[in-house]
Chains A and B, each alone.
Chain A
Protein backbone atom coordinates (compact mmCIF):
# COMPACT_ATOMS: atom_id res chain seq x y z
CA UNK A 1 0.00 0.00 0.00
CA UNK A 2 2.77 2.47 0.97
CA UNK A 3 5.83 1.90 -1.19
CA UNK A 4 5.33 -1.84 -0.97
CA UNK A 5 4.60 -1.90 2.76
CA UNK A 6 1.18 -2.88 4.03
CA UNK A 7 0.67 -2.04 7.70
CA UNK A 8 -1.59 -4.10 9.94
CA UNK A 9 -3.74 -1.05 10.63
CA UNK A 10 -4.86 1.92 8.57
CA UNK A 11 -4.27 4.24 11.48
CA UNK A 12 -0.97 6.10 11.65
CA UNK A 13 -0.04 7.80 14.89
CA UNK A 14 2.14 10.84 15.56
CA UNK A 15 4.35 10.68 18.64
CA UNK A 16 4.61 14.30 19.82
CA UNK A 17 3.18 15.81 22.96
CA UNK A 18 2.32 12.73 25.02
CA UNK A 19 2.56 12.97 28.81
CA UNK A 20 5.34 10.37 28.79
CA UNK A 21 7.00 7.84 26.49
CA UNK A 22 5.44 5.07 28.57
CA UNK A 23 1.93 6.39 27.87
CA UNK A 24 2.87 6.87 24.23
CA UNK A 25 3.96 3.24 24.03
CA UNK A 26 0.66 2.09 25.59
CA UNK A 27 -1.32 4.36 23.26
CA UNK A 28 0.43 2.97 20.19
CA UNK A 29 -0.33 -0.56 21.34
CA UNK A 30 -3.98 0.26 22.09
CA UNK A 31 -4.46 1.98 18.73
CA UNK A 32 -3.07 -0.95 16.79
CA UNK A 33 -1.15 1.51 14.59
CA UNK A 34 1.50 -0.04 12.39
CA UNK A 35 3.22 3.17 11.34
CA UNK A 36 4.27 6.00 13.66
CA UNK A 37 5.76 9.35 12.75
CA UNK A 38 8.49 11.19 14.58
CA UNK A 39 10.00 14.63 14.24
CA UNK A 40 13.70 15.36 14.00
CA UNK A 41 14.06 19.02 13.19
CA UNK A 42 14.38 20.22 16.74
CA UNK A 43 15.61 17.07 18.46
CA UNK A 44 18.50 16.45 16.09
CA UNK A 45 21.07 13.70 16.44
CA UNK A 46 20.94 13.84 20.24
CA UNK A 47 17.35 12.65 20.43
CA UNK A 48 18.43 9.00 20.51
CA UNK A 49 16.89 8.27 23.92
CA UNK A 50 13.38 8.98 22.68
CA UNK A 51 13.95 7.37 19.26
CA UNK A 52 15.09 4.13 20.89
CA UNK A 53 11.81 4.00 22.80
CA UNK A 54 9.89 4.48 19.54
CA UNK A 55 11.88 1.74 17.84
CA UNK A 56 10.97 -0.60 20.67
CA UNK A 57 7.28 -0.19 19.73
CA UNK A 58 7.84 -2.49 16.77
CA UNK A 59 6.09 -0.02 14.45
CA UNK A 60 7.48 1.13 11.15
CA UNK A 61 8.94 4.61 11.70
CA UNK A 62 8.01 7.45 9.39
CA UNK A 63 10.26 10.42 10.15
CA UNK A 64 8.84 13.81 9.30
CA UNK A 65 10.14 17.26 8.54
CA UNK A 66 7.77 19.00 10.93
CA UNK A 67 8.86 22.52 11.77
CA UNK A 68 10.62 23.10 8.42
CA UNK A 69 9.68 26.32 6.65
CA UNK A 70 11.68 25.99 3.44
CA UNK A 71 12.49 23.32 0.89
CA UNK A 72 16.17 23.47 1.83
CA UNK A 73 15.44 22.91 5.52
CA UNK A 74 13.14 20.01 4.74
CA UNK A 75 15.67 18.39 2.42
CA UNK A 76 18.40 18.66 5.06
CA UNK A 77 16.11 17.17 7.69
CA UNK A 78 15.14 14.30 5.36
CA UNK A 79 18.79 13.46 4.76
CA UNK A 80 19.46 13.54 8.48
CA UNK A 81 16.49 11.23 9.05
CA UNK A 82 17.83 8.73 6.52
CA UNK A 83 21.21 8.78 8.21
CA UNK A 84 19.86 8.47 11.76
CA UNK A 85 17.12 5.93 11.13
CA UNK A 86 18.31 4.08 8.06
CA UNK A 87 15.03 4.59 6.22
CA UNK A 88 14.25 6.28 2.93
CA UNK A 89 10.72 7.04 4.10
CA UNK A 90 10.05 10.68 4.76
CA UNK A 91 6.85 12.51 5.57
CA UNK A 92 7.54 15.74 3.81
CA UNK A 93 6.09 18.75 5.54
CA UNK A 94 7.00 22.28 4.53
CA UNK A 95 5.08 24.85 6.50
CA UNK A 96 4.04 27.96 4.63
CA UNK A 97 2.62 29.91 7.50
CA UNK A 98 3.83 29.82 11.08
CA UNK A 99 0.44 30.51 12.54
CA UNK A 100 -1.94 28.41 10.47
CA UNK A 101 0.72 25.75 9.75
CA UNK A 102 -0.72 25.53 6.24
CA UNK A 103 1.60 23.59 3.93
CA UNK A 104 3.51 25.56 1.31
CA UNK A 105 2.67 23.77 -1.96
CA UNK A 106 5.47 25.37 -3.97
CA UNK A 107 8.27 24.54 -1.54
CA UNK A 108 6.72 21.10 -1.04
CA UNK A 109 6.91 20.28 -4.73
CA UNK A 110 10.44 21.60 -4.98
CA UNK A 111 11.59 19.49 -2.03
CA UNK A 112 9.66 16.42 -3.27
CA UNK A 113 11.41 16.58 -6.66
CA UNK A 114 14.84 16.69 -5.03
CA UNK A 115 14.12 13.94 -2.52
CA UNK A 116 12.41 11.58 -4.99
CA UNK A 117 15.40 11.98 -7.29
CA UNK A 118 17.65 11.00 -4.39
CA UNK A 119 15.68 7.80 -3.89
CA UNK A 120 13.56 8.86 -0.93
CA UNK A 121 10.06 7.45 -0.60
CA UNK A 122 8.15 10.63 0.01
CA UNK A 123 4.84 11.05 1.86
CA UNK A 124 3.95 14.69 1.08
CA UNK A 125 1.71 16.62 3.48
CA UNK A 126 -0.39 18.81 1.20
CA UNK A 127 -3.56 20.75 0.66
CA UNK A 128 -6.24 18.93 -1.33
CA UNK A 129 -5.32 20.70 -4.58
CA UNK A 130 -5.61 18.27 -7.51
CA UNK A 131 -2.96 19.84 -9.70
CA UNK A 132 -0.49 19.85 -6.83
CA UNK A 133 -1.30 16.17 -6.37
CA UNK A 134 -0.60 15.46 -10.02
CA UNK A 135 2.70 17.29 -9.91
CA UNK A 136 3.75 15.41 -6.79
CA UNK A 137 2.90 12.09 -8.41
CA UNK A 138 4.83 13.21 -11.47
CA UNK A 139 7.79 14.02 -9.20
CA UNK A 140 7.75 10.43 -7.96
CA UNK A 141 5.47 10.43 -4.90
CA UNK A 142 3.51 7.17 -4.63
CA UNK A 143 1.45 8.36 -1.66
CA UNK A 144 -0.34 11.66 -1.08
CA UNK A 145 -1.32 13.05 2.29
CA UNK A 146 -3.99 15.74 2.02
CA UNK A 147 -4.86 17.64 5.18
CA UNK A 148 -8.22 17.25 6.87
CA UNK A 149 -7.87 20.63 8.57
CA UNK A 150 -4.99 22.70 9.97
CA UNK A 151 -2.57 20.80 12.22
CA UNK A 152 -3.84 20.44 15.77
CA UNK A 153 -7.15 22.17 15.04
CA UNK A 154 -9.38 19.13 15.50
CA UNK A 155 -11.80 20.46 12.91
CA UNK A 156 -12.11 17.22 11.01
CA UNK A 157 -12.62 17.17 7.23
CA UNK A 158 -13.00 20.87 6.60
CA UNK A 159 -13.30 20.53 2.82
CA UNK A 160 -15.03 17.21 2.57
CA UNK A 161 -16.31 17.72 -0.98
CA UNK A 162 -12.86 18.68 -2.23
CA UNK A 163 -11.44 15.59 -0.54
CA UNK A 164 -14.13 13.47 -2.18
CA UNK A 165 -13.11 14.93 -5.54
CA UNK A 166 -9.50 14.15 -4.77
CA UNK A 167 -10.31 10.54 -3.91
CA UNK A 168 -12.11 10.22 -7.25
CA UNK A 169 -9.27 11.92 -9.13
CA UNK A 170 -6.56 9.62 -7.76
CA UNK A 171 -8.23 6.22 -7.61
CA UNK A 172 -4.92 4.34 -7.69
CA UNK A 173 -2.74 6.52 -5.44
CA UNK A 174 -2.84 5.72 -1.73
CA UNK A 175 -4.32 8.76 0.00
CA UNK A 176 -3.86 9.42 3.70
CA UNK A 177 -5.79 12.09 5.57
CA UNK A 178 -3.17 13.86 7.62
CA UNK A 179 -3.83 16.44 10.33
CA UNK A 180 -6.88 18.18 11.69
CA UNK A 181 -8.63 15.06 12.95
CA UNK A 182 -10.09 15.68 16.40
CA UNK A 183 -12.61 12.90 16.94
CA UNK A 184 -12.91 9.22 16.04
CA UNK A 185 -16.10 10.02 14.08
CA UNK A 186 -14.05 12.28 11.80
CA UNK A 187 -11.45 9.59 11.21
CA UNK A 188 -14.22 7.13 10.50
CA UNK A 189 -15.81 9.47 8.00
CA UNK A 190 -12.50 9.74 6.13
CA UNK A 191 -12.28 5.97 5.98
CA UNK A 192 -15.91 5.65 4.83
CA UNK A 193 -15.05 8.06 2.01
CA UNK A 194 -12.47 5.60 0.81
CA UNK A 195 -9.23 7.13 2.03
CA UNK A 196 -6.54 4.57 2.57
CA UNK A 197 -5.45 5.65 6.01
CA UNK A 198 -5.59 8.42 8.59
CA UNK A 199 -2.68 10.05 10.42
CA UNK A 200 -3.28 11.91 13.65
CA UNK A 201 -1.46 12.97 16.78
CA UNK A 202 -2.91 15.73 18.96
CA UNK A 203 -6.34 14.17 19.37
CA UNK A 204 -4.75 11.20 21.10
CA UNK A 205 -1.72 12.83 22.74
CA UNK A 206 -3.78 15.56 24.42
CA UNK A 207 -6.77 13.46 25.40
CA UNK A 208 -7.30 13.17 29.12
CA UNK A 209 -6.79 9.43 28.64
CA UNK A 210 -4.52 9.00 25.61
CA UNK A 211 -4.62 5.21 25.75
CA UNK A 212 -8.42 5.09 25.77
CA UNK A 213 -8.59 7.61 22.94
CA UNK A 214 -6.03 5.66 20.92
CA UNK A 215 -8.19 2.57 21.22
CA UNK A 216 -11.26 4.56 20.13
CA UNK A 217 -9.45 5.82 17.02
CA UNK A 218 -8.17 2.36 16.16
CA UNK A 219 -11.69 0.98 16.21
CA UNK A 220 -13.16 3.94 14.32
CA UNK A 221 -10.62 3.59 11.52
CA UNK A 222 -11.28 -0.11 11.27
CA UNK A 223 -15.06 0.38 11.27
CA UNK A 224 -14.83 3.11 8.65
CA UNK A 225 -12.77 0.92 6.36
CA UNK A 226 -15.16 -2.02 6.81
CA UNK A 227 -18.08 0.26 5.96
CA UNK A 228 -16.33 1.50 2.84
CA UNK A 229 -15.57 -2.01 1.68
CA UNK A 230 -19.10 -3.18 2.45
CA UNK A 231 -20.56 -0.41 0.29
CA UNK A 232 -22.44 2.41 1.95
CA UNK A 233 -25.98 3.06 0.85
CA UNK A 234 -26.32 6.32 -1.04
CA UNK A 235 -28.28 9.03 0.76
CA UNK A 236 -31.73 9.88 -0.65
CA UNK A 237 -33.92 12.95 -0.61
CA UNK A 238 -36.96 11.24 0.83
CA UNK A 239 -37.84 8.48 3.19
CA UNK A 240 -37.89 4.97 1.80
CA UNK A 241 -40.22 2.88 3.90
CA UNK A 242 -38.95 -0.57 4.64
CA UNK A 243 -42.52 -1.92 4.59
CA UNK A 244 -45.07 -1.29 1.84
CA UNK A 245 -47.34 1.70 2.39
CA UNK A 246 -50.31 0.23 0.51
CA UNK A 247 -53.03 -1.17 2.65
CA UNK A 248 -52.06 0.78 5.72
CA UNK A 249 -54.48 0.33 8.57
CA UNK A 250 -56.83 3.26 9.15
CA UNK A 251 -57.02 3.91 12.82
CA UNK A 252 -59.85 5.78 14.43
Chain B
Protein backbone atom coordinates (compact mmCIF):
# COMPACT_ATOMS: atom_id res chain seq x y z
CA UNK B 1 0.00 0.00 0.00
CA UNK B 2 1.15 3.52 -0.76
CA UNK B 3 -0.25 6.39 1.28
CA UNK B 4 -0.30 9.73 -0.48
CA UNK B 5 -0.38 12.68 1.90
CA UNK B 6 -2.02 15.78 0.53
CA UNK B 7 -4.71 16.31 -2.07
CA UNK B 8 -3.43 19.29 -3.97
CA UNK B 9 -2.23 18.93 -7.53
CA UNK B 10 0.89 16.99 -6.45
CA UNK B 11 -1.01 14.47 -4.32
CA UNK B 12 -3.82 13.88 -6.80
CA UNK B 13 -1.46 13.50 -9.77
CA UNK B 14 0.73 11.12 -7.77
CA UNK B 15 -2.24 9.02 -6.66
CA UNK B 16 -3.64 8.99 -10.20
CA UNK B 17 -0.44 7.77 -11.84
CA UNK B 18 0.26 5.22 -9.11
CA UNK B 19 -3.27 3.86 -9.40
CA UNK B 20 -3.01 3.77 -13.19
CA UNK B 21 0.14 1.71 -12.87
CA UNK B 22 -1.79 -0.76 -10.79
CA UNK B 23 -0.22 0.05 -7.42
CA UNK B 24 -2.42 0.00 -4.32
CA UNK B 25 -2.94 3.60 -3.23
CA UNK B 26 -4.81 5.54 -0.57
CA UNK B 27 -5.01 9.32 -0.10
CA UNK B 28 -4.76 10.67 3.42
CA UNK B 29 -7.08 13.66 3.51
CA UNK B 30 -7.64 15.18 6.94
CA UNK B 31 -11.07 16.73 7.16
CA UNK B 32 -9.82 20.05 8.53
CA UNK B 33 -7.13 20.51 5.88
CA UNK B 34 -7.00 23.98 4.32
CA UNK B 35 -7.58 24.29 0.59
CA UNK B 36 -4.44 23.37 -1.33
CA UNK B 37 -2.45 26.22 -2.86
CA UNK B 38 -3.01 24.65 -6.27
CA UNK B 39 -6.74 25.37 -6.08
CA UNK B 40 -5.76 29.04 -6.47
CA UNK B 41 -3.45 28.45 -9.43
CA UNK B 42 -3.90 30.07 -12.80
CA UNK B 43 -3.99 26.71 -14.50
CA UNK B 44 -1.79 27.82 -17.37
CA UNK B 45 -0.02 24.97 -19.10
CA UNK B 46 2.65 27.22 -20.55
CA UNK B 47 5.96 25.37 -20.68
CA UNK B 48 7.47 27.68 -23.31
CA UNK B 49 6.54 30.96 -21.61
CA UNK B 50 7.92 29.60 -18.35
CA UNK B 51 11.25 29.17 -20.11
CA UNK B 52 11.87 32.77 -19.11
CA UNK B 53 13.36 32.03 -15.73
CA UNK B 54 12.49 28.38 -15.30
CA UNK B 55 15.20 25.83 -16.06
CA UNK B 56 15.13 23.81 -19.27
CA UNK B 57 13.75 20.75 -17.47
CA UNK B 58 10.47 22.60 -16.88
CA UNK B 59 10.23 23.59 -20.55
CA UNK B 60 11.02 20.08 -21.75
CA UNK B 61 8.95 18.04 -19.33
CA UNK B 62 6.08 20.51 -19.07
CA UNK B 63 5.27 19.96 -22.74
CA UNK B 64 3.51 16.71 -21.92
CA UNK B 65 1.16 18.32 -19.41
CA UNK B 66 -1.58 19.44 -21.81
CA UNK B 67 -1.96 15.90 -23.20
CA UNK B 68 -1.87 14.38 -19.75
CA UNK B 69 -4.61 16.61 -18.42
CA UNK B 70 -6.58 16.60 -21.66
CA UNK B 71 -6.95 12.83 -21.57
CA UNK B 72 -8.09 12.77 -17.94
CA UNK B 73 -10.11 15.85 -17.03
CA UNK B 74 -12.60 18.14 -18.78
CA UNK B 75 -11.98 21.77 -19.63
CA UNK B 76 -8.46 21.74 -21.06
CA UNK B 77 -8.42 24.59 -23.58
CA UNK B 78 -5.70 24.29 -26.20
CA UNK B 79 -5.69 27.70 -27.80
CA UNK B 80 -2.18 28.81 -26.96
CA UNK B 81 -0.94 31.76 -24.92
CA UNK B 82 -0.90 35.31 -26.22
CA UNK B 83 1.64 37.70 -24.70
CA UNK B 84 1.28 41.45 -25.08
CA UNK B 85 2.88 44.60 -23.68
CA UNK B 86 2.06 48.29 -23.68
CA UNK B 87 3.91 50.19 -26.42
CA UNK B 88 6.40 51.68 -23.97
CA UNK B 89 7.21 48.21 -22.63
CA UNK B 90 7.88 46.80 -26.10
CA UNK B 91 11.48 45.91 -25.14
CA UNK B 92 9.99 43.40 -22.69
CA UNK B 93 8.41 41.52 -25.59
CA UNK B 94 11.71 41.41 -27.46
CA UNK B 95 13.41 40.18 -24.33
CA UNK B 96 10.85 37.39 -23.85
CA UNK B 97 11.21 36.41 -27.50
CA UNK B 98 14.94 35.98 -26.95
CA UNK B 99 14.50 34.17 -23.64
CA UNK B 100 11.99 31.56 -24.83
CA UNK B 101 11.15 29.22 -27.70
CA UNK B 102 7.94 27.85 -29.20
CA UNK B 103 6.53 31.24 -30.16
CA UNK B 104 5.89 33.42 -33.17
CA UNK B 105 4.97 37.08 -33.67
CA UNK B 106 1.27 37.68 -34.06
CA UNK B 107 -1.27 40.43 -34.46
CA UNK B 108 -3.14 40.25 -31.13
CA UNK B 109 -6.42 41.44 -32.64
CA UNK B 110 -6.29 38.71 -35.28
CA UNK B 111 -6.24 36.13 -32.47
CA UNK B 112 -8.49 37.95 -30.02
CA UNK B 113 -10.82 40.41 -31.78
CA UNK B 114 -11.62 41.97 -28.40
CA UNK B 115 -8.12 43.47 -28.45
CA UNK B 116 -8.77 45.40 -31.67
CA UNK B 117 -6.62 48.53 -31.79
CA UNK B 118 -4.98 47.93 -28.43
CA UNK B 119 -1.65 46.21 -29.15
CA UNK B 120 0.45 46.46 -32.28
CA UNK B 121 2.09 43.06 -31.83
CA UNK B 122 2.22 40.08 -29.54
CA UNK B 123 4.01 36.82 -29.02
CA UNK B 124 1.94 33.73 -29.61
CA UNK B 125 2.80 30.39 -28.01
CA UNK B 126 0.65 28.15 -30.14
CA UNK B 127 1.22 24.83 -28.35
CA UNK B 128 0.23 26.05 -24.88
CA UNK B 129 -3.03 25.43 -23.04
CA UNK B 130 -4.93 26.18 -19.88
CA UNK B 131 -7.41 24.54 -17.55
CA UNK B 132 -9.53 25.42 -14.55
CA UNK B 133 -7.64 24.09 -11.51
CA UNK B 134 -10.68 23.41 -9.37
CA UNK B 135 -12.51 21.59 -12.15
CA UNK B 136 -9.37 19.58 -12.90
CA UNK B 137 -8.69 18.67 -9.27
CA UNK B 138 -12.32 17.69 -8.68
CA UNK B 139 -12.24 15.53 -11.79
CA UNK B 140 -9.06 13.75 -10.69
CA UNK B 141 -10.55 13.13 -7.26
CA UNK B 142 -13.69 11.74 -8.92
CA UNK B 143 -11.64 9.41 -11.12
CA UNK B 144 -9.68 8.14 -8.14
CA UNK B 145 -12.81 7.49 -6.11
CA UNK B 146 -14.42 5.75 -9.07
CA UNK B 147 -11.39 3.49 -9.41
CA UNK B 148 -11.68 2.51 -5.77
CA UNK B 149 -8.95 4.64 -4.20
CA UNK B 150 -9.87 5.53 -0.64
CA UNK B 151 -9.70 9.12 0.68
CA UNK B 152 -9.63 9.02 4.43
CA UNK B 153 -8.43 10.69 7.58
CA UNK B 154 -6.20 8.92 10.07
CA UNK B 155 -2.72 7.40 10.15
CA UNK B 156 -1.21 6.26 6.83
CA UNK B 157 -1.18 2.48 6.31
CA UNK B 158 1.53 2.18 3.71
CA UNK B 159 4.70 3.72 2.33
CA UNK B 160 4.42 7.44 2.53
CA UNK B 161 4.46 9.72 -0.49
CA UNK B 162 4.36 13.20 1.00
CA UNK B 163 2.75 15.81 -1.25
CA UNK B 164 1.70 18.32 1.38
CA UNK B 165 3.38 21.42 -0.02
CA UNK B 166 4.22 23.84 2.78
CA UNK B 167 2.74 21.33 5.22
CA UNK B 168 5.92 19.28 4.77
CA UNK B 169 8.23 22.24 5.44
CA UNK B 170 9.39 20.92 8.86
CA UNK B 171 10.90 17.88 7.06
CA UNK B 172 12.37 19.92 4.18
CA UNK B 173 14.53 22.68 5.63
CA UNK B 174 15.24 24.34 2.28
CA UNK B 175 11.58 24.55 1.31
CA UNK B 176 10.28 28.12 1.43
CA UNK B 177 6.99 29.82 0.71
CA UNK B 178 6.44 32.21 -2.18
CA UNK B 179 3.19 34.01 -1.59
CA UNK B 180 0.81 34.43 -4.49
CA UNK B 181 -2.36 36.48 -4.74
CA UNK B 182 -5.10 36.22 -7.35
CA UNK B 183 -8.50 37.60 -8.27
CA UNK B 184 -11.52 36.13 -9.95
CA UNK B 185 -13.65 38.47 -12.00
CA UNK B 186 -16.92 38.29 -13.84
CA UNK B 187 -16.48 40.44 -16.92
CA UNK B 188 -19.07 39.36 -19.49
CA UNK B 189 -18.28 42.26 -21.80
CA UNK B 190 -14.66 41.12 -22.18
CA UNK B 191 -14.43 38.29 -24.68
CA UNK B 192 -11.08 36.55 -24.55
CA UNK B 193 -10.74 32.93 -25.59
CA UNK B 194 -7.21 32.07 -24.53
CA UNK B 195 -4.84 32.81 -21.70
CA UNK B 196 -3.09 36.10 -22.00
CA UNK B 197 0.00 37.52 -20.37
CA UNK B 198 0.75 41.19 -19.98
CA UNK B 199 4.44 42.01 -19.66
CA UNK B 200 5.33 44.94 -17.49
CA UNK B 201 8.52 45.69 -15.58
CA UNK B 202 6.60 45.81 -12.31
CA UNK B 203 2.92 44.95 -12.72
CA UNK B 204 2.98 41.87 -14.88
CA UNK B 205 -0.11 39.68 -14.84
CA UNK B 206 -1.83 36.87 -16.62
CA UNK B 207 -5.49 36.56 -17.46
CA UNK B 208 -7.02 33.12 -17.80
CA UNK B 209 -10.55 32.76 -19.14
CA UNK B 210 -12.65 30.38 -17.07
CA UNK B 211 -15.73 30.41 -19.30
CA UNK B 212 -19.07 32.23 -19.03
CA UNK B 213 -17.37 35.62 -18.68
CA UNK B 214 -15.28 34.61 -15.68
CA UNK B 215 -11.57 35.38 -15.58
CA UNK B 216 -8.74 34.55 -13.24
CA UNK B 217 -6.21 37.37 -12.83
CA UNK B 218 -2.90 36.46 -11.26
CA UNK B 219 -0.60 36.41 -9.66
CA UNK B 220 1.79 38.17 -7.36
CA UNK B 221 5.11 36.61 -6.35
CA UNK B 222 6.24 37.72 -2.91
CA UNK B 223 9.06 36.13 -0.94
CA UNK B 224 6.94 35.76 2.16
CA UNK B 225 5.23 33.05 4.15
CA UNK B 226 2.46 35.38 5.27
CA UNK B 227 -0.95 33.77 5.05
CA UNK B 228 -4.09 35.78 5.14
CA UNK B 229 -6.06 37.87 2.76
CA UNK B 230 -5.05 39.50 -0.46
CA UNK B 231 -3.42 42.89 0.06
CA UNK B 232 -4.98 46.06 -1.28
CA UNK B 233 -1.79 46.62 -3.22
CA UNK B 234 -2.13 43.28 -5.00
CA UNK B 235 -5.72 44.06 -5.93
CA UNK B 236 -4.78 47.51 -7.23
CA UNK B 237 -1.83 46.22 -9.23
CA UNK B 238 -3.60 43.22 -10.73
CA UNK B 239 -6.71 45.18 -11.62
CA UNK B 240 -4.70 48.02 -13.15
CA UNK B 241 -2.80 45.52 -15.25
CA UNK B 242 -6.01 43.78 -16.37
CA UNK B 243 -7.61 47.14 -17.12
CA UNK B 244 -4.68 48.09 -19.31
CA UNK B 245 -5.28 44.92 -21.34
CA UNK B 246 -8.99 45.59 -21.75
CA UNK B 247 -10.97 48.52 -20.32
CA UNK B 248 -13.98 46.23 -19.94
CA UNK B 249 -12.33 44.83 -16.81
CA UNK B 250 -13.13 48.11 -15.05
CA UNK B 251 -16.79 47.10 -15.12
CA UNK B 252 -16.12 43.60 -13.88
CA UNK B 253 -17.63 42.12 -10.78
CA UNK B 254 -14.97 40.99 -8.30
CA UNK B 255 -16.12 37.43 -7.54
CA UNK B 256 -13.32 36.23 -5.29
CA UNK B 257 -9.81 36.90 -4.12
CA UNK B 258 -7.30 34.33 -2.99
CA UNK B 259 -3.87 34.19 -1.42
CA UNK B 260 -1.76 31.08 -1.04
CA UNK B 261 1.77 29.89 -0.43
CA UNK B 262 3.65 28.20 -3.24
CA UNK B 263 6.17 25.67 -1.93
CA UNK B 264 9.57 26.24 -3.54
CA UNK B 265 13.06 24.78 -3.34
CA UNK B 266 16.03 27.16 -3.78
CA UNK B 267 16.22 26.50 -7.53
CA UNK B 268 12.42 26.92 -7.87
CA UNK B 269 12.34 23.53 -9.56
CA UNK B 270 9.85 20.83 -8.51
CA UNK B 271 11.56 17.69 -7.26
CA UNK B 272 11.23 14.30 -5.64
CA UNK B 273 13.22 13.98 -2.43
CA UNK B 274 13.86 10.87 -0.39
CA UNK B 275 13.87 11.22 3.39
CA UNK B 276 14.43 7.78 4.89
CA UNK B 277 11.45 5.71 3.79
CA UNK B 278 9.39 8.68 2.84
CA UNK B 279 9.30 10.12 -0.65
CA UNK B 280 8.52 13.80 -0.99
CA UNK B 281 7.06 15.30 -4.13
CA UNK B 282 7.26 19.00 -3.46
CA UNK B 283 8.57 22.42 -4.45
CA UNK B 284 6.08 22.76 -7.27
CA UNK B 285 6.39 26.56 -7.04
CA UNK B 286 4.42 28.05 -9.96
CA UNK B 287 4.69 24.88 -12.01
CA UNK B 288 2.16 22.62 -10.27
CA UNK B 289 -0.20 21.74 -13.12
CA UNK B 290 2.69 21.85 -15.57
CA UNK B 291 5.09 19.55 -13.70
CA UNK B 292 3.07 17.34 -11.35
CA UNK B 293 2.16 14.80 -14.07
CA UNK B 294 5.81 14.31 -15.09
CA UNK B 295 6.99 14.01 -11.49
CA UNK B 296 4.16 11.64 -10.66
CA UNK B 297 5.47 9.46 -13.48
CA UNK B 298 8.98 9.57 -11.98
CA UNK B 299 7.55 8.67 -8.62
CA UNK B 300 5.71 5.68 -10.05
CA UNK B 301 8.96 4.59 -11.76
CA UNK B 302 10.79 4.71 -8.43
CA UNK B 303 8.08 2.79 -6.63
CA UNK B 304 7.66 0.10 -9.29
CA UNK B 305 11.42 -0.34 -9.72
CA UNK B 306 11.90 -0.66 -6.01
CA UNK B 307 9.24 -3.05 -4.70
CA UNK B 308 10.34 -2.34 -1.15
CA UNK B 309 8.45 0.92 -1.50
CA UNK B 310 5.28 -0.56 -2.86
CA UNK B 311 4.58 -3.57 -0.70
Contact = CB atoms under 8 A, between A and B. Distances in A.
Do A and B actually bind?
yes
What does DSSP make chain A's interface, helix, strand, loop or mixed? Answer: helix
B223 A47 contact: yes
A195 B54 CA distance: 36
Contacts, number: 53
A20 B266 contact: yes
Contacts of A47: 222-225
Nearest to A202: B201
B267 A208 contact: no
Contacts of A206: 95
B21 interface: no
B53 interface: yes
A21 B268 contact: yes
B176 A19 contact: no
Given A152-B201, A208-B99, A22 B268 contact: yes
Contacts of A23: 267
B225 A208 contact: no
Contacts of A53: 176, 266
**Interface magnitude class on chain A:** 20 to 34
Interface string B52-92: 01100000000000000000000000000000000000000
A47 B261 CA distance: 12
Contact of B266 (A25, A42, A48, A208): A25
Nearest to A16: B223
A46 interface: yes
A42 B177 CA distance: 14
Contact of A43 (B175, B224, B268): B224
Contacts of A50: 176, 223-224
B177 to A, nearest CB: 6
A20 B201 CA distance: 17
Contacts of B222: 42-43, 47
B226 A20 contact: no
A49 interface: yes
B53 A19 contact: yes
Contacts of A202: 201
Interface in B149-183: 175-177
A197 to B, nearest CB: 24
Interface of B: 53-54, 95, 98-99, 175-177, 201-202, 222-226, 233, 264, 266-269
Interface of A: 19-23, 25, 42-50, 53, 152, 202, 206, 208
29 contacts: A20-B53, A20-B264, A20-B266, A20-B267, A20-B268, A21-B266, A21-B267, A22-B266, A22-B267, A22-B268, A23-B267, A42-B222, A42-B224, A43-B222, A43-B223, A44-B224, A45-B226, A47-B222, A47-B223, A47-B225, A50-B176, A50-B224, A53-B176, A53-B266, A152-B201, A152-B202, A202-B201, A208-B95, A208-B98
